[in-house]
Chain A
Amino acid sequence: MTDHAQNRTRPVGDRALLIELADNRLVHAAAALVRARYGEALAEVVPGHQTLLVVGRDGPVRIDLDGLEAADEMPHELVQIDVRYDGADLEAVASALGVSVEAVVALHAGAQYTVAFMGFAPGFPYLICEPSSPLLELPRRATPRTRVPAGSVAVAAGYCGIYPQASPGGWNLLGHTELRLFDPQRDPPALLEPGMSVRFEPI
């Protein structure tokens, strides 16, 4: 059990707060609690790494996180993502880790991930797993690619990510999914949201 009395709140301008939390599970529990308790008064509730940004709609916000432990018991939605492991960096990743390509796939598909937060592009998830995997600890590529294809599943710098659309990118590409990570015409527009659990299924 975490001591929530130690949650630190930092001011962010005149209408937002940044709440620091002990771990990312608590961030998602706090996000759910804050939305339920203050939803109408808030413009945005934005998870980050061990932080939650809360932006007021018209003015300053005051947040009381009483009852966070109970909110932390919520089940997390599990999404399965089919992946074809054909990424351009698969062999380089295997050699960097000193294992076979098959072992990289087993390592990646064998873990369960959580969407820690989103950003970079609409629908782009920053996935973490606990305990962290050596795959996720790989550094970014020395030279970023000018174009990473849409649906690319990649790892770097502590995270696994999925590129919703083609864009420049510096992460190590393991494979790709045909799923649409982001579609503004769909409801909800993003396939994944912060707090969701993710498993990858090799196809």
Chain B
Amino acid sequence: MTRVEVISPGPLTTLQDLGRPGYAHIGVPRSGAADRPALVLANRLVGNDDGAVALETTLGGPWLRFDGPAVVALAGAPVRGLAMNEPIELAAGAELRVGTANRGLRTYIAFAGGIRAPLTLGSAATDTLTGLGPEPLRAGEVIELGRGASRSKPPAVVNPPAREPVLRVLLGPRADWFTAQALAWLTGEEFTVSHQANRIGLALCGPRLERARAGELRSEGLVPGAIQVPPDGRPILLLADHPTTGGYPVIAVVHSEDIALAAQLRPGARLRLCAASVRP
């Protein structure tokens, strides 16, 4: 069984899979890969199940040394000098240096056989909000790979991170808390990702979204992609480690297929939102 030594971990590299669905009602976030299609793609490229445990980087990646042969694949944010979206065979003793992403934010590194890691509530995902799951990768740590996988699935769709994406949103559930002006600005103006951007959510800079009514909402359940608006009018787009309930009104929710685009936005990135039609 191949062991992988972490020579350097990169700024924030975590173990991720498809998370812990089904526990939101007791306050446990789903967590898991922020860009789920990229995780699934990386896993399929090496013959793993979609939810096998892989690495998620943040802007920069780790430097790894392999004590045995391995097959790896990188997907998500492209990294200079490394083949993306295809399996790479490594011999015993090989090193893999994952540098800074050219664009986008999170690269997924999957290994044939997956990473062997203890499960918490069925998942090895590091949840940065609650601390559930393993610590982020550290220098000197050794990760163990599972036995080589051999399942062959058609690769998932390759969807490279977009530079200035337009994310589809569906208005509500609390659009009625906002002024007509705020709703017009939400889908008419450009926003920029602030430096308060992490796996929990992205604080967006742009026009302040004013409320049409006073008072506070009582807590209600939240989903990834929800755009909640605190009293200061600056929207926050929630990602994988978002709290399960909250009391800021949610003006709109990003379409589930576009959350991956949001998860690849780095601080300073620009984005626009466009209104998608509400299903019948």
Contacts and interface: CB of A to CB of B under 8 A. Distances in A.
Contacts of A55: 24, 221, 223
A14 B255 contact: yes
- Interface size band for B: 35 or more
B243 interface: yes
A58 to B, nearest CB: 10
Contacts of A14: 170, 253, 255-257, 276, 279
Interface stretch (B3-11, B34-42, B186-194, B244-252): B244-252
A96 B265 CA distance: 48
If over half of B's interface residues share one DSSP class (helix, strand or loop), that class is named, otherwise mixed; here it is loop
B27 A121 contact: yes
Given A11-B173, A119-B243, A193 B226 contact: no
B218 A49 contact: yes
Interface string B1-38: 00000000000000000000111111110100000000
B120 interface: yes
Given A15-B256, A49-B218, A184-B121, A60 B223 contact: no
A13 B173 CA distance: 8
Contacts of B276: 14
Contacts of A124: 27
B173 A12 contact: yes
Contacts, number: 124
Contact of B246 (A45, A52, A119): A119
Nearest to A54: B221
A47 interface: yes
Contacts of B225: 13
B5 to A, nearest CB: 28
B172 interface: yes
Given A48-B218, A53-B223, A18 B243 contact: no
B221 A18 contact: yes
A180 interface: no
B85 to A, nearest CB: 24
A182 to B, nearest CB: 8
B260 to A, nearest CB: 14
B223 A119 contact: no
Contact of A45 (B25, B28, B132): B25
Given A13-B253, A13-B254, A193 B220 contact: no
Interface in A1-54: 10-16, 18, 31, 43-53
Given A12-B250, A53-B220, A44 B25 contact: yes
B187 to A, nearest CB: 15
A151 interface: no
A189 interface: yes
Given A13-B254, A49-B219, A189 B23 contact: yes
A123 B27 contact: yes
Contacts of B226: 12-13
A120 B27 contact: yes
Q: B226, B244, B276 — which one has the most chain A CB atoms within 10 A of its CB? A: B244
A126 interface: yes
10 contacts: A10-B173, A13-B223, A13-B225, A31-B25, A46-B24, A52-B221, A119-B243, A120-B243, A190-B26, A194-B26
Closest 7 CB pairs of A and B: A53-B221, A46-B221, A48-B220, A119-B245, A13-B253, A49-B218, A10-B173
Interface of A: 10-16, 18, 31, 43-53, 55, 57, 60, 117-124, 126, 158, 182, 184, 188-190, 193-194
Given A14-B276, A117-B219, A182-B26, 4 more contacts: A12-B173, A117-B25, A194-B25, A194-B26
Interface of B: 21-28, 30, 120-121, 130, 132, 170, 172-174, 218-223, 225-226, 243-246, 250, 253-257, 276, 278-279
